[in-house]
Structure 1
């Protein structure tokens, strides 16, 4: 049986070259994606049309031969499964309607996987078409990150980049926010189980808004829910490896690696190389090229790739960006990186 390079690293192996995939590798920087996306104006509908979402997932695999495909979906499908209206405004991003009561959402948690069964259908289609030596990744937004959107709603207030509304709720109504996080842990666990059952070989948890949290809030809003989520996923019988991504956690990434049961920790763009080495001494790591440098290209891009290879290449490491690929990244720059690390 084929053991994809990515899975070998997640098992703790140091490979001759790091496996590589890019966050948001399916998306607007690809002309074939833009053509496909134009066939369905509504983004949520596009995500929940398995044939189109599968095609979007496979497009970068055909073009670049990444070591892993990540299912094309969105972290804000979970609020939709819990009864909150979600839509995307062109050029502005996500918008959410009024949040249902925690009690009403609690009744929907066990059905979250079934409510989003189209994502499972997408995974099954991709797995059937994907080369056996390529890994298939499923994902979900982490409870706190999803909660920030649910609490912020339209998120048009000053300080939205710091999720100011949600953070204020976390201070002003700790019991209410903790209850929401518990609902999201349960719903997300069932959603992830559905993805694993549909063929996902790896599951990634995106905590996009761990940034800027003081340590006590980080412990309460990130560490505690992540521990609970991993525990609940395992209770549901899921055995595939899990990657946690506490974006913006800085020095707390090391504590995160020690205290959670993820098989690997994804590091963001700002993570110092030395902290990455310390985390790597605990478990495999993923990251952390700057998407802006990828867009810029040139000799500076080569130098940074070489720095990352020198710093982290002697241990279990998945080469990736420190955040999602930008829509205006030249395809030639992606090819430049893949050649530099020996993946093309």
Structure 2
């Protein structure tokens, strides 16, 4: 599998490619399947339908990896926190006031359908296509749990990190252990590698970044590598900025996902020699297409040639991306 070769530090050319949110609303077949499910949570917890939407972009575009279709907030829901997705507004949870409502022992039963989806995908994906399992990073998941919704800069989470650090630490400790169990189940079900999405890492100042992002990620990677020697882990500390190098050195991940604003050449200087990177084409270019997308894609390819690299976006595909632009992107990468 080309993705695993790159994660092992091998320069693969053309580089393996997959796109964050490659299964999603820009595909008419996804929209049809979601309508069949009834709502987003039901889709995530229906192994047959979740398998189908994971496979849709693989059939259509031939990406080198499929990422399990699910959501980072399935885990707090499994722990006992209410979750709903309001149409046009995103996720809503009752802001967490106490960890007493969280029950890690019950979580595996709730997310069991997600693990069944992994099993099904492992048998249905082409043998050359890697399967990526994932979870939200503890800091990012805690942001949603404590604020009760996404968007903005999670003011309650940031305030609590200063005013009630022990409470925030308790939440993170529960999430670390639950994430280890969740990703372990995915690996045992057939995931070829896993990814930690720390999508809101960039809201924290340096010391909190170390305490709330790096340290929990390090505990997760250490536990997974002890249990499954050789497992590869991709970390995505979005908007880490100058903390990126420290994250790459200390977190234990095997590859670092780069957001749109991070220059790859600067990342090479900041991170340890041999760090594998993933990313980081601007998703807006995939919407625009044309010469702007093609020139930026060729420039990115030229930058990463002779390095182990996983081609991806700096964030997820947006719903307004024309399929033809994805087809053209793949043509450029494959002919590099």
SS in 1 for 2:247: helix
Q: Take 1:186 and 1:232, find their aligned partners in 2: how far apart are those partners?
A: 9
**1:342 aligned onto 2:328:** no
SS in 1 for 2:134: strand
1:329 Cα deviation (Å)?
A: 0.2
Structure 1 residue aligned with 2:125 = 130
Equivalent residue pairs, number: 335
Show CA shifts across 1:218-241 (max 9, x none): 111111111111122234446421
Which of residues 35, 52, 55 in structure 1 aligns to 2:52? 55
1:315 Cα deviation (Å)?
A: 0.5
SS in 1 for 2:241: coil
Which of residues 288, 291, 308 in structure 2 aligns to 1:299? 291
1:43 Cα deviation (Å)?
A: 1.1
1:101 Cα deviation (Å)?
A: 2.9
SS in 1 for 2:279: strand
Which of residues 169, 176, 180 in structure 2 aligns to 1:178? 169
Q: State which drifts further: 238-247 or 332-341.
A: 238-247
**Alpha carbon RMSD of aligned pairs, Å?**
1.6
Retained in 1: the 8 A contact 2:277–2:308?
Answer: yes
Retained in 1: the 8 A contact 2:133–2:183?
Answer: yes
Structure 1 residue aligned with 2:241 = 250
SS in 1 for 2:4: helix
Gaps of 5+ in 1: none
Structure 1 residue aligned with 2:83 = 86
- Taking structure 2 as the reference length, the TM-score comes to 0.96
Retained in 1: the 8 A contact 2:9–2:274?
Answer: no
Q: Take 1:133 and 1:170, find their aligned partners in 2: how far apart are those partners?
A: 44
Matches within 5 A, 1:59-208: 59-99=56-96, 101-105=98-102, 108-154=103-149, 160-208=151-199
Q: Take 1:314 and 1:168, find their aligned partners in 2: how far apart are those partners?
A: 45
Retained in 2: the 8 A contact 1:96–1:154?
Answer: yes
Structure 1 residue aligned with 2:316 = 324
1:111 Cα deviation (Å)?
A: 4.8
Q: State which drifts further: 188-197 or 39-48.
A: 39-48
SS in 1 for 2:334: coil
SS in 2 for 1:39: helix
Q: Take 2:256 and 2:139, find their aligned partners in 1: how far apart are those partners?
A: 17
Structure 1 residue aligned with 2:218 = 227
**1:263 aligned onto 2:254:** yes
Gaps of 5+ in 2: none
SS in 2 for 1:268: coil
Show CA shifts across 1:195-236 (max 9, x none): 001110010000000123211111111111111111222344
SS in 1 for 2:24: coil
Show CA shifts across 1:65-88 (max 9, x none): 000000100000011111000010
SS in 2 for 1:265: strand
**1:13 aligned onto 2:10:** yes
Structure 1 residue aligned with 2:265 = 274
Retained in 1: the 8 A contact 2:249–2:272?
Answer: no
Q: State which drifts further: 109-118 or 253-262.
A: 109-118
SS in 2 for 1:138: strand
Q: Take 1:110 and 1:153, find their aligned partners in 2: how far apart are those partners?
A: 23
Q: State which drifts further: 284-293 or 228-237.
A: 228-237
Q: Take 1:58 and 1:276, find their aligned partners in 2: how far apart are those partners?
A: 32
Q: State which drifts further: 41-50 or 140-149.
A: 41-50
Structure 1 residue aligned with 2:278 = 286
